[in-house]
Protein backbone atom coordinates (compact mmCIF):
# COMPACT_ATOMS: atom_id res chain seq x y z
CA UNK A 1 0.00 0.00 0.00
CA UNK A 2 1.17 3.54 -0.73
CA UNK A 3 2.40 5.57 2.24
CA UNK A 4 1.47 8.96 0.73
CA UNK A 5 -1.11 11.08 2.48
CA UNK A 6 -4.63 11.04 1.10
CA UNK A 7 -5.74 14.16 2.93
CA UNK A 8 -6.29 16.96 0.45
CA UNK A 9 -6.52 14.60 -2.53
CA UNK A 10 -9.48 14.72 -4.87
CA UNK A 11 -12.34 12.22 -4.84
CA UNK A 12 -11.48 10.71 -8.21
CA UNK A 13 -7.89 9.84 -7.32
CA UNK A 14 -8.91 8.41 -3.95
CA UNK A 15 -11.61 6.23 -5.50
CA UNK A 16 -9.23 5.02 -8.22
CA UNK A 17 -6.60 4.14 -5.61
CA UNK A 18 -9.08 2.24 -3.44
CA UNK A 19 -10.55 0.37 -6.40
CA UNK A 20 -7.08 -0.66 -7.62
CA UNK A 21 -5.75 -1.57 -4.19
CA UNK A 22 -3.15 1.20 -4.24
CA UNK A 23 -4.71 2.45 -0.99
CA UNK A 24 -7.04 0.83 1.49
CA UNK A 25 -10.28 2.58 2.37
CA UNK A 26 -9.32 2.11 6.02
CA UNK A 27 -6.10 4.09 5.52
CA UNK A 28 -7.95 6.90 3.78
CA UNK A 29 -10.53 7.07 6.57
CA UNK A 30 -7.92 6.97 9.35
CA UNK A 31 -6.00 9.84 7.79
CA UNK A 32 -9.15 11.95 7.57
CA UNK A 33 -10.12 11.11 11.15
CA UNK A 34 -6.65 12.27 12.20
CA UNK A 35 -7.20 15.49 10.27
CA UNK A 36 -10.48 16.00 12.15
CA UNK A 37 -8.66 15.51 15.45
CA UNK A 38 -6.09 18.08 14.33
CA UNK A 39 -8.39 20.82 13.00
CA UNK A 40 -11.94 20.49 14.29
CA UNK A 41 -11.31 21.80 17.78
CA UNK A 42 -10.34 25.14 16.28
CA UNK A 43 -13.01 25.26 13.54
CA UNK A 44 -16.03 23.57 15.17
CA UNK A 45 -17.14 22.34 11.75
CA UNK A 46 -18.12 18.77 12.65
CA UNK A 47 -20.65 18.32 15.44
CA UNK A 48 -20.84 14.52 15.26
CA UNK A 49 -17.92 12.33 14.17
CA UNK A 50 -18.84 8.83 12.95
CA UNK A 51 -15.42 7.31 13.60
CA UNK A 52 -16.33 3.70 14.36
CA UNK A 53 -19.05 3.51 11.70
CA UNK A 54 -16.63 4.98 9.17
CA UNK A 55 -13.94 2.44 10.07
CA UNK A 56 -16.44 -0.41 9.76
CA UNK A 57 -17.65 0.85 6.37
CA UNK A 58 -14.05 1.16 5.18
CA UNK A 59 -13.18 -2.36 6.30
CA UNK A 60 -16.26 -3.71 4.54
CA UNK A 61 -15.27 -1.92 1.34
CA UNK A 62 -11.73 -3.32 1.50
CA UNK A 63 -13.08 -6.85 2.03
CA UNK A 64 -15.39 -6.49 -0.96
CA UNK A 65 -12.45 -5.44 -3.13
CA UNK A 66 -10.47 -8.49 -2.05
CA UNK A 67 -13.46 -10.63 -3.01
CA UNK A 68 -13.34 -9.18 -6.49
CA UNK A 69 -16.42 -6.96 -6.28
CA UNK A 70 -16.62 -3.91 -8.50
CA UNK A 71 -16.56 -0.81 -6.32
CA UNK A 72 -18.41 2.40 -7.06
CA UNK A 73 -17.24 5.76 -8.42
CA UNK A 74 -16.76 7.19 -4.90
CA UNK A 75 -15.10 4.12 -3.38
CA UNK A 76 -13.50 5.00 -0.05
CA UNK A 77 -14.12 8.75 -0.36
CA UNK A 78 -14.83 10.31 3.07
CA UNK A 79 -17.79 12.70 3.04
CA UNK A 80 -19.60 14.85 5.54
CA UNK A 81 -23.27 15.77 5.70
CA UNK A 82 -24.87 18.98 6.89
CA UNK A 83 -26.74 18.37 10.14
CA UNK A 84 -29.93 19.39 8.35
CA UNK A 85 -29.99 16.14 6.32
CA UNK A 86 -31.18 12.83 7.79
CA UNK A 87 -28.59 10.11 8.38
CA UNK A 88 -29.70 6.67 9.58
CA UNK A 89 -28.43 5.87 13.07
CA UNK A 90 -26.48 9.14 13.28
CA UNK A 91 -27.68 12.12 15.28
CA UNK A 92 -29.35 14.77 13.11
CA UNK A 93 -30.26 17.91 15.04
CA UNK A 94 -30.86 20.61 12.39
CA UNK A 95 -28.81 22.76 14.77
CA UNK A 96 -31.75 22.89 17.17
CA UNK A 97 -31.93 22.07 20.85
CA UNK A 98 -35.44 20.76 20.18
CA UNK A 99 -33.90 17.94 18.09
CA UNK A 100 -30.72 17.47 20.13
CA UNK A 101 -31.37 13.74 20.59
CA UNK A 102 -32.92 13.02 17.20
CA UNK A 103 -31.55 9.89 15.49
CA UNK A 104 -33.23 9.17 12.15
CA UNK A 105 -34.01 5.60 11.12
CA UNK A 106 -33.61 6.26 7.39
CA UNK A 107 -30.92 7.95 5.31
CA UNK A 108 -31.93 10.79 3.04
CA UNK A 109 -31.85 9.40 -0.54
CA UNK A 110 -28.89 11.69 -1.31
CA UNK A 111 -26.90 10.17 1.57
CA UNK A 112 -27.91 6.69 0.43
CA UNK A 113 -26.74 7.52 -3.11
CA UNK A 114 -23.30 8.56 -1.88
CA UNK A 115 -23.01 5.40 0.23
CA UNK A 116 -24.13 3.20 -2.69
CA UNK A 117 -21.35 4.78 -4.77
CA UNK A 118 -18.84 3.71 -2.09
CA UNK A 119 -18.41 6.99 -0.21
CA UNK A 120 -17.95 6.76 3.55
CA UNK A 121 -19.83 9.01 5.97
CA UNK A 122 -17.30 10.47 8.38
CA UNK A 123 -19.39 13.07 10.22
CA UNK A 124 -22.16 15.63 10.45
CA UNK A 125 -21.46 19.35 10.17
CA UNK A 126 -22.69 22.45 11.93
CA UNK A 127 -25.57 24.57 10.66
CA UNK A 128 -27.64 27.44 12.05
CA UNK A 129 -30.93 26.24 13.51
CA UNK A 130 -33.05 24.84 10.66
CA UNK A 131 -30.62 26.51 8.26
CA UNK A 132 -32.32 29.84 8.79
CA UNK A 133 -29.24 32.08 8.77
CA UNK A 134 -26.43 32.89 6.38
CA UNK A 135 -23.87 32.54 9.19
CA UNK A 136 -23.13 29.24 10.89
CA UNK A 137 -23.86 29.44 14.59
CA UNK A 138 -26.45 28.02 16.97
CA UNK A 139 -27.02 27.68 20.69
CA UNK A 140 -26.60 23.89 20.63
CA UNK A 141 -23.09 23.65 19.18
CA UNK A 142 -21.76 27.20 18.93
CA UNK A 143 -20.07 28.99 16.04
CA UNK A 144 -18.10 27.57 13.11
CA UNK A 145 -14.95 29.34 11.88
CA UNK A 146 -13.43 29.23 8.41
CA UNK A 147 -10.02 27.66 7.84
CA UNK A 148 -9.41 30.28 5.13
CA UNK A 149 -7.79 33.32 6.74
CA UNK A 150 -5.03 34.69 4.48
CA UNK A 151 -4.94 37.99 6.34
CA UNK A 152 -4.98 36.37 9.79
CA UNK A 153 -8.57 37.43 10.50
CA UNK A 154 -10.86 34.64 11.73
CA UNK A 155 -13.83 34.65 9.38
CA UNK A 156 -17.16 32.96 8.83
CA UNK A 157 -17.32 30.07 6.35
CA UNK A 158 -20.76 31.34 5.33
CA UNK A 159 -23.97 29.46 5.91
CA UNK A 160 -26.12 27.73 6.29
CA UNK A 161 -23.83 24.95 4.96
CA UNK A 162 -20.87 26.61 6.67
CA UNK A 163 -19.88 23.49 8.60
CA UNK A 164 -19.63 21.70 5.28
CA UNK A 165 -17.52 24.37 3.60
CA UNK A 166 -15.17 24.56 6.61
CA UNK A 167 -14.78 20.77 6.70
CA UNK A 168 -14.08 20.36 3.00
CA UNK A 169 -11.80 23.41 2.80
CA UNK A 170 -9.79 22.16 5.80
CA UNK A 171 -9.35 18.68 4.31
CA UNK A 172 -11.41 16.96 7.01
CA UNK A 173 -13.69 15.56 4.32
CA UNK A 174 -13.38 15.25 0.56
CA UNK A 175 -16.98 15.93 -0.42
CA UNK A 176 -19.82 17.63 1.41
CA UNK A 177 -23.58 17.34 1.19
CA UNK A 178 -25.27 20.63 1.95
CA UNK A 179 -28.66 22.17 1.35
CA UNK A 180 -29.43 25.38 -0.51
CA UNK A 181 -32.47 27.50 0.25
CA UNK A 182 -31.35 31.08 -0.31
CA UNK A 183 -27.69 30.46 -1.11
CA UNK A 184 -26.63 27.90 1.48
CA UNK A 185 -24.15 25.94 -0.67
CA UNK A 186 -23.20 28.85 -2.93
CA UNK A 187 -22.33 31.49 -0.32
CA UNK A 188 -20.16 29.08 1.76
CA UNK A 189 -18.30 28.04 -1.41
CA UNK A 190 -17.65 31.73 -2.18
CA UNK A 191 -16.41 32.30 1.38
CA UNK A 192 -13.96 29.38 1.38
CA UNK A 193 -12.82 29.08 -2.25
CA UNK A 194 -14.75 25.89 -3.02
CA UNK A 195 -16.93 24.70 -5.87
CA UNK A 196 -20.59 23.96 -5.24
CA UNK A 197 -23.71 23.18 -7.20
CA UNK A 198 -27.27 24.24 -6.51
CA UNK A 199 -29.06 21.87 -8.91
CA UNK A 200 -32.34 22.38 -10.72
CA UNK A 201 -35.22 21.72 -8.36
CA UNK A 202 -36.10 18.05 -8.70
CA UNK A 203 -32.76 16.78 -10.00
CA UNK A 204 -31.84 15.43 -6.54
CA UNK A 205 -34.43 13.67 -4.38
CA UNK A 206 -35.54 16.27 -1.79
CA UNK A 207 -36.47 13.77 0.91
CA UNK A 208 -34.56 13.87 4.17
CA UNK A 209 -34.18 17.64 4.59
CA UNK A 210 -35.26 19.48 7.73
CA UNK A 211 -37.67 21.11 8.21
CA UNK A 212 -40.13 18.73 6.64
CA UNK A 213 -42.92 16.28 7.38
CA UNK A 214 -42.08 13.25 9.53
CA UNK A 215 -43.61 10.04 8.19
CA UNK A 216 -42.55 6.53 9.28
CA UNK A 217 -39.06 7.71 10.12
CA UNK A 218 -38.64 9.67 6.89
CA UNK A 219 -38.50 13.45 6.43
CA UNK A 220 -40.70 14.33 3.46
CA UNK A 221 -40.58 17.61 1.55
CA UNK A 222 -43.77 19.59 2.09
CA UNK A 223 -44.80 21.07 -1.29
CA UNK A 224 -46.99 23.66 0.45
CA UNK A 225 -43.92 25.38 1.93
CA UNK A 226 -40.97 27.30 0.53
CA UNK A 227 -38.55 24.79 2.05
CA UNK A 228 -40.41 21.94 0.40
CA UNK A 229 -40.52 23.74 -2.94
CA UNK A 230 -37.30 25.76 -3.17
CA UNK A 231 -34.72 24.11 -0.91
CA UNK A 232 -32.50 21.48 -2.52
CA UNK A 233 -29.54 19.30 -1.58
CA UNK A 234 -26.30 20.14 -3.36
CA UNK A 235 -22.62 19.07 -3.24
CA UNK A 236 -19.52 21.01 -2.20
CA UNK A 237 -16.03 20.06 -3.35
CA UNK A 238 -12.52 21.45 -3.71
CA UNK A 239 -12.57 21.25 -7.50
CA UNK A 240 -15.01 21.25 -10.39
CA UNK A 241 -14.32 17.65 -11.40
CA UNK A 242 -15.29 16.33 -7.98
CA UNK A 243 -18.41 18.50 -7.88
CA UNK A 244 -19.41 17.15 -11.29
CA UNK A 245 -18.84 13.55 -10.19
CA UNK A 246 -20.83 14.14 -7.00
CA UNK A 247 -23.73 15.68 -8.91
CA UNK A 248 -23.79 12.73 -11.29
CA UNK A 249 -24.03 10.32 -8.35
CA UNK A 250 -26.77 12.37 -6.69
CA UNK A 251 -28.91 12.92 -9.78
CA UNK A 252 -32.05 10.86 -10.16
CA UNK A 253 -31.24 8.10 -12.69
CA UNK A 254 -33.51 9.44 -15.41
CA UNK A 255 -31.97 12.91 -15.08
CA UNK A 256 -28.31 11.91 -15.31
CA UNK A 257 -26.36 13.03 -18.37
CA UNK A 258 -23.94 10.84 -20.29
CA UNK A 259 -20.19 11.33 -20.83
CA UNK A 260 -18.73 12.89 -22.79
CA UNK A 261 -21.19 15.76 -22.90
CA UNK A 262 -20.20 18.08 -25.70
CA UNK A 263 -21.09 21.70 -25.00
CA UNK A 264 -20.08 24.24 -27.60
CA UNK A 265 -19.32 27.11 -25.23
CA UNK A 266 -18.28 29.35 -28.11
CA UNK A 267 -21.81 29.38 -29.53
CA UNK A 268 -23.76 29.81 -26.31
CA UNK A 269 -25.70 32.98 -25.60
CA UNK A 270 -23.86 34.02 -22.42
CA UNK A 271 -24.89 37.09 -20.47
CA UNK A 272 -23.74 38.62 -17.20
CA UNK A 273 -25.12 40.89 -14.52
CA UNK A 274 -23.31 42.91 -11.83
CA UNK A 275 -25.89 41.67 -9.31
CA UNK A 276 -29.58 40.92 -9.15
CA UNK A 277 -30.38 44.58 -9.63
CA UNK A 278 -31.47 45.89 -6.23
CA UNK A 279 -28.46 45.47 -3.89
CA UNK A 280 -24.97 46.96 -4.25
CA UNK A 281 -21.99 44.61 -4.67
CA UNK A 282 -18.42 45.05 -3.41
CA UNK A 283 -16.15 46.49 -6.11
CA UNK A 284 -13.59 43.68 -5.84
CA UNK A 285 -16.30 41.10 -6.40
CA UNK A 286 -17.68 43.07 -9.35
CA UNK A 287 -14.23 43.23 -10.91
CA UNK A 288 -13.81 39.45 -10.68
CA UNK A 289 -17.27 38.76 -12.11
CA UNK A 290 -16.74 41.28 -14.92
CA UNK A 291 -13.39 39.70 -15.76
CA UNK A 292 -14.96 36.22 -15.92
CA UNK A 293 -17.72 37.54 -18.16
CA UNK A 294 -15.32 39.41 -20.43
CA UNK A 295 -13.22 36.26 -20.88
CA UNK A 296 -16.29 34.72 -22.56
CA UNK A 297 -17.33 37.84 -24.47
CA UNK A 298 -20.60 37.80 -22.51
CA UNK A 299 -23.13 40.55 -23.14
CA UNK A 300 -24.64 42.44 -20.23
CA UNK A 301 -28.09 41.32 -19.08
CA UNK A 302 -30.66 44.06 -19.67
CA UNK A 303 -33.86 42.27 -18.68
CA UNK A 304 -36.56 43.35 -16.25
CA UNK A 305 -37.34 40.07 -14.48
CA UNK A 306 -34.24 39.50 -12.34
CA UNK A 307 -34.64 42.66 -10.19
CA UNK A 308 -38.08 41.39 -9.14
CA UNK A 309 -36.84 38.04 -7.86
CA UNK A 310 -35.27 38.88 -4.48
CA UNK A 311 -38.35 40.82 -3.39
CA UNK A 312 -40.56 37.88 -4.35
CA UNK A 313 -38.37 35.52 -2.33
CA UNK A 314 -38.91 37.77 0.69
CA UNK A 315 -42.65 38.09 0.07
CA UNK A 316 -43.09 34.33 -0.14
CA UNK A 317 -41.02 33.90 3.02
CA UNK A 318 -43.16 36.44 4.88
CA UNK A 319 -46.38 34.45 4.42
CA UNK A 320 -44.96 31.18 5.77
CA UNK A 321 -46.59 29.80 8.92
CA UNK A 322 -43.61 27.48 9.60
CA UNK A 323 -45.97 24.71 10.67
CA UNK A 324 -43.33 22.05 9.98
CA UNK A 325 -40.92 23.64 12.46
CA UNK A 326 -43.63 23.88 15.10
CA UNK A 327 -44.54 20.24 14.49
CA UNK A 328 -40.95 19.01 14.73
CA UNK A 329 -40.50 20.81 18.03
CA UNK A 330 -43.79 19.61 19.52
CA UNK A 331 -43.29 18.17 22.99
CA UNK A 332 -39.76 19.53 23.39
CA UNK A 333 -38.93 21.35 26.58
CA UNK A 334 -36.32 23.45 24.78
CA UNK A 335 -36.85 26.85 23.21
CA UNK A 336 -35.76 28.00 19.78
CA UNK A 337 -32.69 30.13 19.10
CA UNK A 338 -33.17 33.87 18.65
CA UNK A 339 -33.14 33.66 14.84
CA UNK A 340 -35.99 31.14 14.72
CA UNK A 341 -37.93 32.93 17.44
CA UNK A 342 -37.74 36.18 15.46
CA UNK A 343 -38.69 34.40 12.23
CA UNK A 344 -41.76 32.83 13.79
CA UNK A 345 -42.81 36.15 15.32
CA UNK A 346 -42.47 37.94 11.98
CA UNK A 347 -45.01 35.76 10.17
CA UNK A 348 -48.22 37.41 9.00
CA UNK A 349 -51.59 35.83 8.43
CA UNK A 350 -52.55 36.07 4.77
CA UNK A 351 -55.55 34.76 2.93
CA UNK A 352 -55.16 31.72 0.71
CA UNK A 353 -55.89 33.93 -2.27
CA UNK A 354 -52.99 36.27 -1.40
CA UNK A 355 -50.57 33.37 -0.96
CA UNK A 356 -51.67 31.73 -4.20
CA UNK A 357 -51.23 35.05 -6.00
CA UNK A 358 -47.59 35.16 -4.89
CA UNK A 359 -46.97 31.69 -6.29
CA UNK A 360 -48.67 32.75 -9.50
CA UNK A 361 -46.28 35.71 -9.61
CA UNK A 362 -43.41 33.25 -9.30
CA UNK A 363 -44.65 31.21 -12.26
CA UNK A 364 -44.86 34.35 -14.40
CA UNK A 365 -41.48 35.59 -13.19
CA UNK A 366 -39.80 32.32 -14.19
CA UNK A 367 -41.36 32.49 -17.64
CA UNK A 368 -40.26 36.12 -18.05
CA UNK A 369 -36.71 35.44 -16.92
CA UNK A 370 -36.25 32.40 -19.15
CA UNK A 371 -37.17 34.66 -22.04
CA UNK A 372 -34.41 37.11 -21.06
CA UNK A 373 -31.45 35.12 -19.71
CA UNK A 374 -30.04 33.51 -22.86
CA UNK A 375 -28.32 30.16 -22.30
CA UNK A 376 -26.22 31.15 -19.30
CA UNK A 377 -26.14 34.07 -16.86
CA UNK A 378 -23.00 34.94 -14.90
CA UNK A 379 -23.43 37.01 -11.73
CA UNK A 380 -21.98 37.47 -8.23
CA UNK A 381 -22.66 35.04 -5.44
CA UNK A 382 -22.96 37.76 -2.81
CA UNK A 383 -22.45 41.45 -2.15
CA UNK A 384 -19.55 40.86 0.24
CA UNK A 385 -16.47 38.73 0.84
CA UNK A 386 -16.27 36.30 3.75
CA UNK A 387 -17.00 38.43 6.84
CA UNK A 388 -15.02 38.40 10.08
CA UNK A 389 -16.57 36.10 12.66
CA UNK A 390 -19.35 37.90 14.55
CA UNK A 391 -19.96 40.58 11.91
CA UNK A 392 -23.57 40.42 10.72
CA UNK A 393 -24.12 43.70 8.86
CA UNK A 394 -22.08 45.14 6.01
CA UNK A 395 -21.59 48.54 4.41
CA UNK A 396 -21.47 48.32 0.62
CA UNK A 397 -21.75 51.26 -1.73
CA UNK A 398 -22.86 53.54 1.09
CA UNK A 399 -25.68 51.20 2.16
CA UNK A 400 -25.96 49.07 5.28
CA UNK A 401 -26.83 45.49 4.32
CA UNK A 402 -28.04 42.58 6.41
CA UNK A 403 -26.74 39.12 5.53
CA UNK A 404 -30.05 38.54 3.73
CA UNK A 405 -29.49 41.66 1.63
CA UNK A 406 -25.94 40.51 0.90
CA UNK A 407 -27.29 37.21 -0.49
CA UNK A 408 -29.83 38.85 -2.82
CA UNK A 409 -28.20 37.39 -5.94
CA UNK A 410 -28.48 33.90 -4.47
CA UNK A 411 -32.05 34.37 -3.29
CA UNK A 412 -33.07 35.59 -6.74
CA UNK A 413 -31.78 32.43 -8.41
CA UNK A 414 -33.34 30.25 -5.69
CA UNK A 415 -36.85 31.57 -6.26
CA UNK A 416 -36.40 31.04 -10.00
CA UNK A 417 -35.50 27.39 -9.36
CA UNK A 418 -32.52 27.39 -11.75
CA UNK A 419 -29.24 25.47 -11.51
CA UNK A 420 -26.19 27.44 -10.38
CA UNK A 421 -22.56 26.35 -10.27
CA UNK A 422 -20.17 28.37 -8.10
CA UNK A 423 -16.45 28.36 -8.83
CA UNK A 424 -13.63 30.51 -7.41
CA UNK A 425 -12.37 33.03 -9.97
CA UNK A 426 -9.94 35.20 -8.08
CA UNK A 427 -8.67 36.67 -4.84
CA UNK A 428 -9.34 39.98 -3.16
CA UNK A 429 -6.51 42.38 -2.22
CA UNK A 430 -6.18 40.65 1.15
CA UNK A 431 -6.27 37.16 -0.34
CA UNK A 432 -9.91 36.20 0.24
CA UNK A 433 -11.53 33.99 -2.41
CA UNK A 434 -14.11 35.38 -4.81
CA UNK A 435 -16.70 33.05 -6.32
CA UNK A 436 -18.97 33.53 -9.31
CA UNK A 437 -22.39 32.02 -10.06
CA UNK A 438 -22.86 30.35 -13.44
CA UNK A 439 -26.61 29.97 -13.91
CA UNK A 440 -28.14 27.81 -16.64
CA UNK A 441 -31.61 26.90 -17.86
CA UNK A 442 -33.54 24.13 -16.05
CA UNK A 443 -31.78 20.74 -16.11
CA UNK A 444 -28.85 22.20 -18.05
CA UNK A 445 -26.31 21.72 -15.27
CA UNK A 446 -23.91 20.25 -17.85
CA UNK A 447 -23.96 23.62 -19.64
CA UNK A 448 -23.25 25.55 -16.43
CA UNK A 449 -20.43 23.12 -15.56
CA UNK A 450 -18.88 23.51 -19.01
CA UNK A 451 -19.00 27.30 -18.84
CA UNK A 452 -17.60 27.22 -15.29
CA UNK A 453 -14.71 25.06 -16.53
CA UNK A 454 -14.00 27.54 -19.30
CA UNK A 455 -14.07 30.48 -16.86
CA UNK A 456 -11.55 28.74 -14.59
CA UNK A 457 -9.34 27.84 -17.54
CA UNK A 458 -9.39 31.44 -18.76
CA UNK A 459 -8.59 32.74 -15.26
CA UNK A 460 -5.64 30.37 -14.87
CA UNK A 461 -4.31 31.40 -18.29
CA UNK A 462 -4.07 34.98 -17.05
CA UNK A 463 -2.02 34.07 -13.97
Q: What is the longest distance spanned by two Cα atoms in the chain?
A: 66
Query: DSSP 3-state assignment of 60?
Result: helix
What is the Cα 399 distance to its own chain's centre?
27
- The tens digit of pLDDT for each residue in 407-454 reads 999 999 999 999 999 999 999 999 999 999 999 999 999 999 999 999
Binning pLDDT at 50, 70 and 90, where does residue 157 land?
Answer: very high
Query: DSSP 3-state assignment of 20?
Result: helix
* Strand-strand pairing, 195-198 and 420-427: antiparallel
124 is catalytic: no
Q: Among residues 156, 161, 167, 184, which one is catalytic?
A: 184
CATH topology of domain 11-462: Amidase signature (AS) enzymes (3.90.1300)
Q: Among residues 24, 96, 146, 160, which one is catalytic?
A: 160
pLDDT at residue 118 greater than cutoff 60: yes
Query: Which class for 435: exposed (0-12), middle (13-18), buried (19 or more C-beta within 10 A)?
Result: buried
Alpha-carbon distances of 128 from 202, 240, 346, rounded to whole Å? 24, 26, 18
295 is catalytic: no
- The tens digit of pLDDT for each residue in 374-405 reads 999 999 999 999 999 999 999 999 999 999 99
Report whether 428 contacts 284 (CB < 8 A).
Answer: yes
Q: Among residues 82, 156, 295, 420, which one is catalytic?
A: 82
Alpha carbons 330 and 278: distance in angstroms, whole number? 39
Write down the mean pLDDT value for the chain: 95
Return the CA Rg of the chain.
21
Query: DSSP 3-state assignment of 267?
Result: helix
Alpha carbons 96 and 127: distance in angstroms, whole number? 9
The structural domains of the chain, with segments of one domain joined by +, span 11-462
pLDDT at residue 2 greater than cutoff 70: no
pLDDT at residue 1 greater than cutoff 90: no
- ∠ Cα 352 354 357 (to 5°): 105
Amino acid sequence: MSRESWVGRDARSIAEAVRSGQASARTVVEEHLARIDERNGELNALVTVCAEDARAAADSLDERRLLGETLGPLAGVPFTVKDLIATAGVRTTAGSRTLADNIPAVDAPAVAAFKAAGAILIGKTNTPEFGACGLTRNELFGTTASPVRPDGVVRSPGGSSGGESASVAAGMSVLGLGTDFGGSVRWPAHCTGLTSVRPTLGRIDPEGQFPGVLSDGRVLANPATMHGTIQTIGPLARNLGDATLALRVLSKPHLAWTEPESVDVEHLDIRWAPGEGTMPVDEEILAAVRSAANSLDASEYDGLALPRANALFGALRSVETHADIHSLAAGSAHSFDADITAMLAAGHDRSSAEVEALWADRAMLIADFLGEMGDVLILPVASVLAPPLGVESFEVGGRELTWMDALASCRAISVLGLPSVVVPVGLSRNGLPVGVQVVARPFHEHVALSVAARIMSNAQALV
